[in-house]
Amino acid sequence: MDWLIRFKWLINFERHSKFIINKTWVLLTFFFFLCYTAILDMVCETFLKRNVSAILFLSNTELYGRNIAAAQYFLQLTNYLRIPVVAWNADNSGLEKRSAGNNLVIQLAPSASHQANAMLSLLKRYSWKQFSIVTSTVAGYREFIQAVTEAAYKFESQSSYKFKILGTVLVNNNASNLGSLLGTEARILLLYSTRDEARSILKTAGQMGLTGDKYVWIVTQSVIGSTTESPPEFPVGMLGVHFETTDNQLTKSISTALKVFVNGVEGFHRESNASTLLNPKVSCEDSASTSSRWAQGEQLFKYLQNVRIEVDPGRPSLEFDADGTRSSVELKIVNLQPSNSGGSGRELLWRQIGHWQSWKKDGLDIQDIVWPGHSHVPPEDGPDKFHLKVAFLEEPPFISIVPPDPVSGRCPVSHGVPCHVGNHVPLNGEADPGPFPRNVTQCCSGFCIDLLEKFSDDLGFTYELIRVDDPKFGTHVNGRWNGLMGALANRRVDMVMTSLTVNAEREHVADFTIPFMETGIAILVAKRTGIISPTAFLEPFDTASWLLVGVVAIQVAALAIFLFEWLSPSGYNMQLSAPTNQRFSLFRTYWLVWAILFQASVNIDCPKGFTSRFISNVWATFAVVFLAIYTANLAAFMITREEFYDLSGVEDPRLISPKSHEPPFRFGTVSNTHTEATILKHYKEMHYHMRNYNLNEIRAGIDAVKRGELDAFLYDGAVLDYLVAQDEECRLLTVGSWVSCHTQLAFERPKCYRHPFTIQSWDISIPFPDQYAMTGYGVAFPRGSKYVTPFNEKLLEYIENGDVDRLRRFWLTGVCKPYKEERQFSEPLSTEQFLSAFLLLLSGIGLAFLLLGLEHIYFHSIRPHLTSPTTGACCSLISINMGKSLTFRDAVFETQDRLRSHRCRDAICRLHLRRLNLQLDITRTRVRQLEKQLNSGSSGSSNQYIGYLTNFFLLDIISPVGNDKLQSVGEDRIVIECPSTMRQHSQLLGEIPEMETVL
C-alpha cells in the first residue's frame, strides 16, 4: 500500500525559538489505482488549496510498472511547483534520477547507486574483475547500467582495482537473446529486473546452461522483494543486495522523515527572518493572490538537505548528498540457500550472509556462502583455462632461440620459455648436423614471448611453442601456402606468434589481430669512412653568401672608404693630387679592407678623414660578425664524412633500374617473405634482378652487405632497425622513408590503413613511394577462430596502457643508431641567415654621409672661429686631428698644398715665374743694401754680392735639376757650372716668398 502523508505547517516564532504545528492532514490512498488526471486533481484541489509547504511521500510496495509511472508523475508535479518532498520508496530505483540543481526530493531509501556499489564490493571481495549486466526493460534499467558504470570507474580511481564490463544484455520478451552470453568469458552476471521477469530470465538461462556451477548471478532488491522465499526457477548460490521493506520499516521511516522535516524547518527559521511564514500560496489557476510556483521552496529544500540527525548510536549521522540521496546506507548481502541443512530439499530461501556499509572503506562483512552447484569454493570470473598450440619462427628480437641450461636442462628465467624445435637449429656457431628430424627442446625469448606470456596470464590459457618444419613465414606458391601461413591454412596450429607481417593476401586464409607493432620495407646499407671534402672550408656559407661577400661587400666597403676619404676636407678634399703626408690610395684601401676582413697582422695605411675612418670601423664590425659565424660553423664541416648509398626508397633509380649504373647495383632480400611478395607484385623487373641476390636468412644478408657482396638489403624495417642497433662495429644504416605512420592510440585508426578500424580485420593499403608497404606485425589465427576477439581486446588494452611500448623499449634498443644522423650534415648558411651583417654595413655607409656633411661644416664654418694656439692645445686632448687642424703648422701645410695646386704645369710658365721671382728678390736685396749704405756709407762689397746672386739665380732658372754641367740658355748667354749645394740653398731661398705670403 502507498502512504501519502501531507503536512501543513504555519510557524510562529516566539521567545526561545519555539514553533507550533497548527494543522496536519493525512491522506491514505492507493496510488496505482489513480490515473494522471486524478493525480493532477488531487494535487490541485487537495494539496494546494490547503496551502501545504512540504510533502512526506512513503511507500513500501515494489510493484513497478504503472505504480512507478504514477509516482514519477506525482514527483514531477511537486518538483514543478517547487514544493519539497521527503520520500522513502522501496522501488525508488525505478524512479528517474534528476540532476542535483533541479531536484527537490530527499530520498531516505537506498538508491540504485548504493546497490551497484555493494555489488562491485562483492566482486572485489572474490577478485572478480569482469562481468556482464543483464536487465529487462523495467523502469530504471538505464539508471542501473549508468550506476554500475560509474561505480566501476570510482573503484578504479580510488583503489586502482579495474573492472571490465564484458557487455550488457537487454532481455526481450522471451529472453532468447541471452544466447549472446554463450561463447563469451562472462561468468559473473548482474541482474536488474522485477521478480516476475527474473523468473522468466533465469528459466531461459537454465535451459541454455547459464546457471551452472560456473556462473554466479548477483541480483538487486527488485528481484528479491520483501519475502525470503524464492521461485523454483532461481538457481542455488545466487547472491543479492537487500534492504527491509516491511511495514515496521515503513513506520521507522515515517519517524525519520518527520525528524528531517522538523530539523529543516527549524534551521530555516533560525537563519532567516523569524517572522517569515511557510505560506506557499500556490495554485493551479493564476490569480493576483497566488502563483504557479513557490519561490521559497528551493530555500526550504536546502535546509532539509543540510540536516544532520543522530538516528542510531554507533552509526554515522543521517546526512544527504547534493542530489538528495542518503550518504550513509547499510545493505544486507543475501545468498539463496537450501531450506534444510542437508541441502536435499528443493525449497530455497534467501539467507543473510553479511552486510555492506557504505561509510567504510572495506564495508563488506561476509560469512559462509553456498556457491552455485552447492560448492563451497567461488567460481572464477572467466572460462576455464584452455590450451593453444602456438607456431613460431625465430627472428630476433621478436623470438630468439638459445640452448637450455646444460646441467638442469631447464630454461633460466632470463632465457624465456621452453619451445619445441622439430629440426635441429645450429646455435652460437654450432655446426649444422643436417636437416634430419629430431626432437629438440630449446629456450625461446624475445618481444613476442613476453607478449605471449602476458596474454597467457590475462586470458588464462596454457600453450605449447612449436617451430614449423618449413622455416618460412609464408607465401602463396603454386597454389599452396608454405611456412607459417601453410600451418594456419591447414589448421595444424591454433595460433602464430612471431614477427608475421599482415597483408591482404594472408588475410584471406587467416584472421589477424590489430598490429602490435608497425613496420614497413626498409633498406639496409653499409657505411664506409671517407675523407674530408677539399671544399669543406667553403661549406659554412652557400654560394650566394660567398658571392655577396666577395663581389659586393668587399667592393662596396673599399669604394666607400676611398670615396669618403676623397670627399673629406681632411683627406683629398676632392682634389686629384694627394695632400702633404698623405699615403692613401684606392689600392691601399683594398689592402686595408682585406687586412681587416681576415684580421691580418700587416702594415696598413689608415685614412685621414673622420668619415672614412668611421666606415673602416663599420667594416671591422662586419668582419668580426662574419668571422664569428664562419668559425662557429666551420667545425661542423671539417669532419670525416661517412659515405653510404643514400637511397630515397624503393623507387630510387638505383633500385628501379639497377643495370643502368656501372657496375650494376646489387641488392636482395630473404626469399618467401612479405618483402619479396610485395616487390614481386608491384615491381616485377626489380624482382627479376634481385632474385639472383636473394638469401635464405636475414643474417646472411647483413653479412653480405658488410662484406660488400651486396650494395643494399631490403627487409622489414623493425627487424633491420634492431639488427643495425646491435651491430658491434656500427657500420650499418637503414635508409629510405618507410616510417610514415606515427604512433597512434589503440582506439585510433593508423593513417596508413585505408579502411576504418574494426576489431576483426585490418585492410592494408600499400601507398608508394613515401609510405611504401606500411603494415604491421599481428597475431595470426586460423580463419574463423573464436580467440581473435579476446586477444584483440587485450592487445588494445596493452597498447593503451603502454605495455607494448615498454616491451618495445626493452627489446628493440641498441648502442648504434639505425638512421643517419642529420647533425653530421649541417646545411650551409643562406643569405637570409646572414642578412643582418650586410644590413649593418649598409647602415654604416648611410650614416657616413651624415658624418661627411658634419665634417664639411666643421672645416668651413666652425674651425675659423676656433683657430688659436690655446684652442688647438685643448682640442688635442679630445682629438689630435682636431687639435692639429687649429695649429699654425697645420695651417702652413694646408697653404702649401693649396699653392701647389695653383702652380704652373709646364716649363715655360715655370721659367717666367722664376724670372719674376728673381727680379723681385734682387730688388728686395738691392733695397736692403741701399739702406745699409745709407747707414754705413760703404757699397763695394754689396755690389759684388749682388752680382754673385744674379749669376746664381740665372743658373738655377735655366738648369735642369741634378745637371751640374754648363748649358746654353740663349744665343748670347753662357752660364758656368755651379755647385749643387748652392742650388739647394737657392731652393730654400725660393720658399721665402711663400712663407712671407703666409705670414
| 564 and 596 part of one domain | yes
pLDDT at 747: 29
Q: Taking phi first (over 0 means left), then psi (-120 to 50 degrees means alpha), and beta for anything else, what does residue 10 get?
A: beta
Whether residues 258 and 275 fall in one domain: yes
DSSP string, 855-877: HHHIIIIIHHHH-SHHHHHHHHH
**Per-residue pLDDT at 433:** 42
pLDDT value of residue 979? 44
Contact 619, 843 (CB under 8 A): no
Same domain membership, residue 400 and residue 361 = no
368 and 223 in a single domain? The answer is: yes
Domain that holds residue 843: 536-639+831-856
List beta partners, residue 716.
521
**415 domain residue, yes or no:** yes
Residues 222 and 342 in one domain: yes
Per the listing, cell 564490493 goes with 121
Residue 758 is assigned to a structural domain of this protein = no
pLDDT tens per residue, range 259-274 = 999 898 888 888 765 5
Q: Which of 383, 403, 421 is the last residue of a domain?
A: 383
Sequence-distant (6+) residues with CB within 8 A of 380 are 187, 214, 460
How far is Cα 398 from Cα 722, in angstroms, rounded to an integer? 10
pLDDT at 84: 92
In this predicted structure, what is the pLDDT of residue 552?
Answer: 80
Q: Is residue 711 part of a domain?
A: no
Using the CB atoms, write b or e for 510-543: b if 16+ within 10 Å: bbbbbbbbbbbbbbbbbbeeeeeeeeeeebbbbe
CA distance 292 to 529: 92
For residue 913, is it within any domain?
Answer: yes
Let me know whether 434 and 542 are in one domain.
no
Give pLDDT, residue 533: 66
Q: For 729-778, list the strands marked E by DSSP.
A: 732-735, 775-777
Q: According to the model, what pLDDT value does residue 900 have? A: 59
Q: Are 155 and 161 in contact (CB under 8 A)?
A: yes
Spans of the chain, pLDDT less than 50: 1-20, 25, 30, 32, 343-344, 424-438, 739-772, 822-824, 877, 939, 942, 945-946, 948-950, 952-999
CATH of the domain at 446: 3.40.190.10
- Whether 820 maps to a domain, the answer reads no
C-beta neighbour count of 929 within 10 angstroms? 16
CA 472/CA 342 separation, integer angstroms: 62
Is 726 a domain residue?
A: no
Provide the pLDDT for residue 3: 38
**Is 229 contained in some domain?**
yes
Q: Which three cell numbers, joined as nine digits, stand for 451?
A: 607478449
What grid cell was written down for 436?
Answer: 634430419
Residue 666 maps to a domain: no
203: domain CATH number is 3.40.50.2300
pLDDT of amino acid 540: 78
650 Cβ neighbours under 8 A, 6+ residues apart: 521, 523, 679, 683, 686, 714, 736, 768, 769, 772, 773
Burial group, residue 592, by CB count within 10 angstroms (0-12, 13-18, 19+) = buried
User: How many whole angstroms separate alpha carbon 2 and alpha carbon 20?
Assistant: 28
- What pLDDT sits at residue 210? 92
What is the rounded distance in angstroms from the CA atom of residue 775 to the CA atom of residue 675? Answer: 11
Residues 104 and 253 placed together within one structural domain of the fold: yes
- The CA distance from 691 to 694, in Å, is 5
For residues 23 and 73, membership in a common domain is answered with yes
Using the structure block, give the residue that is written with the C-alpha cell 749669376: 951
- Partners of 975 in beta bridges: 967
Question: Which pLDDT tens digit goes with each residue over 508-527?
Answer: 999 999 999 988 888 999 98
CA torsion sign for 20, 25, 28, 34 is negative
**Which amino acid is residue 846, in one-letter code?**
G
Residues 230 and 378 in one domain: yes
Helices (H) and strands (E) in the chain, counts: 31, 33
> Binding site for L-glutamate: which residues?
501, 506, 675, 716
Residues 120 and 251 in one domain: no
C-alpha grid cell for residue 385? 583455462
Say how many Å lie between the first and final Cα of the chain, rounded. Answer: 140
Annotated binding residues, written as ranges, equal 501, 506, 675, 716
Query: Distance between CA 136 and CA 145 in Å, rounded?
Result: 11
> Are 315 and 365 contained in the same domain?
no
Rounded CA Rg of the chain: 55
User: Domain count of the chain?
Assistant: 6
> How confident is the model at residue 997, as a pLDDT?
43
Rounded (5°) CA angle 24-26-28: 175
Residue 109 CB-half CA count within 13 A: 27
Shared domain check, 549 and 616: yes
Within a 10 A sphere around the Cβ of 253, how many other Cβ atoms?
A: 24
- pLDDT number for residue 462: 92
